């Protein structure tokens, strides 16, 4: 066991870490799709909407307090402390941060547990649906507390280049929810997945704790409030917490607007929008979050070393790679929106399909945002993304309210808002970056981006032809549906790789080299 954890402490390259995170993220996404598909098939629309809405406030607390907020506020300081002062000082900082977040999140979890009936009043649910939403929120109230502890532990592991347990934890969480549905649905109905969520959060914490083995981490009680590093983390945390929480404040407003539509007879508006968002989030997690999470420790290291030239070079490589990888995924999502909607809904669902089609622009720019925002965070600048996000939340709420009115676009207006705001947010941040660093977007980078976009044009033509050749029939289900989607996706992505190779893009070289090794490797006789 010690030998295993010793090996797992070896530092991974950005590419290896990104591959590991992407692989586990893909597995987690597939489990998430299976989880949601089971919820869609086993429970009615009113129950599903109550279930999805119940998560909004707990998720807001966790993501604002910990998750991305902790990552960008805590990891750069911890990396600097490890580099300059060694593990003893770093572990004291880790313990103080852990104890602070555990205390605050525990208190907030208690608030959720006690006041959930009043909290769910922000939605337009009535009667049994409102009571059900409150009951589910009570069961999952423990999540912010358990997830906050897990996040401190996995952030520490990422800082030292260990990603395995960070990537494994979501798999355990999703598997627990699926088991909860399968084993408990007959007795507990929609409460079954909520029980699976609570158990999964506990198991995820255990996995995160296992990842600390082999690091020689020494936990200490108390909070060293006088420590300058601790104060630095706490100073940076509020700005990033607000920034991170803004996305979930938007989500709460969107759920409120969608629940208002359900109140006037648009049954399933909340559930359908959540299904479309899940499909939209999949490539963002698989590409944007995975790659940027793998690259962020390297970004902070370059800044700590005083090497802005290497930071700039590696940042641009990450942006190019993310753009190149995400474009064919966006193209496939746009043309195969109905295929994907049927997979997750288990039946034809025109509303989910339409929502997903309007979310494709958001997929591209949310993916890029994951890396763009870390350009600022690596330099310990949490304020600039915060100010941009404050502008975004106002615009998002204004557009969502007006575009989602029954007389306007209904729930589709929420998807339209997501894409508009995601585009503007990235454009504003890129503009600020170019002003601060005039050398950032040099000619070679711009030329490469133009080539990547040109390649995507060919990819669009191929995808449209493949959908025409393999159209979605009303009876397509199961293997037939999966086969059609796989063939369309495979040929589209293969064409993207082929034309990228013709255009001599650097991003395609590792893929081509790997294919050559697999296909041209001599056989031993």
Compute, in degrees rounded to 10, the torsion defined by CA atoms 244, 246, 252, 253: -160
Question: 195, 218, 238: which is the final residue of a domain?
Answer: 238
* High-pLDDT (> 70) share of the chain, %: 92
Residues 482 and 339 in one domain: yes
Query: How long, in residues, is the chain?
Result: 525
Q: Which two tokens stand for residue 145?
A: 């507390």
Residue 7 has pLDDT above 50, yes or no: no
Residues 214 and 281 in one domain: no
State the pLDDT at residue 224.
85
Q: What band does 523 get if pLDDT is binned at 50, 70 and 90?
A: very low
Q: What band does 4 get if pLDDT is binned at 50, 70 and 90?
A: very low
State the pLDDT at residue 23.
80
Residues 274 and 214 in one domain: no
Query: By residue range, what is the domain housing residue 311?
Result: 268-506
Residues 394 and 342 in one domain: yes
Q: What is the mean pLDDT of the chain?
A: 88
Rounded Cα distance between 429 and 206, Å, is 38
State the pLDDT at residue 242.
76
Residues 316 and 419 in one domain: yes
**Does residue 176 form part of some domain?**
yes
How do residues 209-244 score in pLDDT, each as one tens digit?
999 988 888 888 888 888 888 888 888 777 767 767
**Does residue 438 form part of some domain?**
yes
The secondary element (H helix, E strand) that includes residue 261 is helix 228-263
More confident residue, 422 or 249: 422
Most confidently predicted of 23-37, 59-73, 142-156, 217-231: 142-156
Residues 304 and 425 in one domain: yes
**Does residue 379 form part of some domain?**
yes
Residues 19 and 143 in one domain: yes
State the pLDDT at residue 289.
84
Q: Which two tokens stand for residue 66?
A: 């910990």
State the pLDDT at residue 522.
52
**Does residue 260 form part of some domain?**
no
Residues 216 and 285 in one domain: no
Residue 131 has pLDDT above 60, yes or no: yes
State the pLDDT at residue 294.
80
**Does residue 344 form part of some domain?**
yes
State the pLDDT at residue 71.
67
Residues 298 and 434 in one domain: yes
Q: Which two tokens stand for residue 262?
A: 């359900």
Q: What distances in angstroms separate CA 186 from CA 70, 82, 180, one per listed residue?
A: 39, 51, 11
Residues 296 and 228 in one domain: no
Q: What distances in angstroms separate CA 118 from CA 253, 401, 442, 443, 513, one per listed residue?
A: 16, 23, 54, 56, 58
Q: What band does 265 get if pLDDT is binned at 50, 70 and 90?
A: confident
Q: What is the mean pLDDT of residues 84-106?
A: 88
Domain count, the chain: 2
**Does residue 2 form part of some domain?**
no
**Does residue 308 form part of some domain?**
yes
Residue 5 has pLDDT above 60, yes or no: no
**Does residue 382 form part of some domain?**
yes
Cβ neighbours, 10 Å, residue 243: 27
How do residues 416-469 score in pLDDT, each as one tens digit?
999 999 999 999 999 999 999 888 888 888 998 999 999 999 999 999 999 999
State the pLDDT at residue 473.
93
DSSP letters for 92-130: HHHHHHHHHHHHHHHHHHHHHHHHHHHHGGGS---HHHH
Residues 225 and 349 in one domain: no
Residues 207 and 311 in one domain: no
User: Does residue 462 contact residue 445 with C-beta atoms inside 8 Å?
Assistant: no
Q: What distances in angstroms separate CA 104 from CA 61, 72, 98, 181, one per listed residue?
A: 10, 19, 10, 31
Question: 238, 259, 286: which is the final residue of a domain?
Answer: 238
State the pLDDT at residue 494.
94
State the pLDDT at residue 352.
96
Query: Is the Cα dihedral 154, 159, 298, 1 positive or negative?
Result: negative
Question: What's the pTM value of the predicted model, to 2 decimals?
Answer: 0.83
Residue 517 has pLDDT above 70, yes or no: no
Cα angle 198, 200, 203; round to 5: 120
Rounded Cα distance between 252 and 400, Å, is 11
State the pLDDT at residue 12.
57
């Amino acid at each position: 066991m010690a030998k295993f954890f010793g090996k797992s402490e070896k530092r991974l390259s950005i590419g290896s870490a990104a591959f590991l995170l992407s692989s586990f993220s893909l597995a987690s996404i597939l489990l998430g799709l299976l989880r949601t598909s089971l919820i869609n098939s086993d429970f009615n629309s009113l129950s599903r909407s109550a279930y999805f809405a119940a998560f909004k406030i707990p998720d807001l607390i966790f993501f604002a307090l910990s998750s991305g907020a902790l990552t960008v506020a805590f990891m750069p300081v911890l990396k600097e402390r490890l580099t300059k002062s060694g593990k003893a000082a770093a572990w004291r900082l880790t313990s103080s941060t852990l104890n602070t977040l555990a205390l605050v999140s525990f208190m907030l979890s208690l608030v959720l547990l006690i006041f959930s009936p009043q909290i769910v009043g922000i939605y337009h649910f009535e009667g049994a649906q409102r009571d059900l939403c409150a009951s589910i929120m009570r069961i999952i109230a423990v999540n912010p507390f358990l997830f906050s502890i897990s996040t401190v532990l996995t952030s520490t592991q990422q800082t030292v280049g260990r990603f395995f347990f960070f990537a494994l934890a979501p798999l355990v969480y999703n598997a627990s929810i699926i088991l909860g549905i399968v084993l408990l649905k007959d007795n507990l109905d929609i409460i079954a997945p909520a029980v699976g969520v609570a158990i999964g959060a506990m198991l995820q914490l255990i996995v995160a704790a296992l990842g600390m083995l082999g690091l020689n981490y020494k936990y200490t009680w108390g909070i060293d409030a006088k420590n300058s590093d601790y104060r630095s983390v706490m100073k940076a945390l509020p700005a990033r917490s607000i920034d991170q929480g803004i996305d979930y404040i938007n989500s709460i407003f969107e759920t409120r607007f969608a629940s208002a539509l359900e109140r006037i007879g648009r049954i399933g508006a909340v559930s359908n929008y959540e299904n479309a968002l899940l499909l939209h989030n999949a490539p963002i997690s698989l590409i944007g979050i995975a790659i940027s999470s793998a690259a962020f420790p390297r970004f902070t290291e370059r800044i700590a070393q005083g090497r802005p030239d290497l930071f700039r070079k590696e940042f641009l490589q990450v942006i190019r790679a993310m753009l190149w990888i995400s474009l064919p995924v966006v193209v496939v999502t746009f043309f195969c929106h109905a295929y994907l909607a049927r997979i997750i809904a288990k039946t034809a669902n025109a509303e989910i399909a339409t929502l997903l089609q309007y979310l494709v622009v958001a997929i591209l720019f949310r993916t890029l945002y994951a890396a763009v925002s870390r350009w600022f965070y690596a330099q310990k600048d949490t304020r600039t993304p915060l100010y941009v996000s404050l502008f975004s939340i106002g615009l998002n709420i204004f557009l969502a309210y007006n575009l989602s009115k029954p007389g306007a676009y209904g729930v589709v207006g929420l998807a339209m808002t997501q894409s508009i705001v995601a585009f503007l947010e990235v454009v504003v941040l890129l503009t600020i970056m170019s002003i601060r660093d005039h050398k950032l977007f040099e000619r070679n980078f711009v030329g490469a981006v133009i080539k990547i976009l040109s390649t995507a044009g060919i990819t669009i033509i191929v995808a449209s032809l493949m959908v025409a050749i393999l159209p979605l029939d009303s009876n397509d289900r199961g293997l037939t549906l999966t086969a059609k989607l796989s063939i369309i996706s495979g040929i589209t992505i293969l064409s993207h790789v082929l034309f990228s190779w013709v255009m001599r893009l650097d991003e395609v070289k590792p893929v081509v080299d790997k294919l050559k090794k697999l296909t041209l490797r001599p056989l031993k006789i």
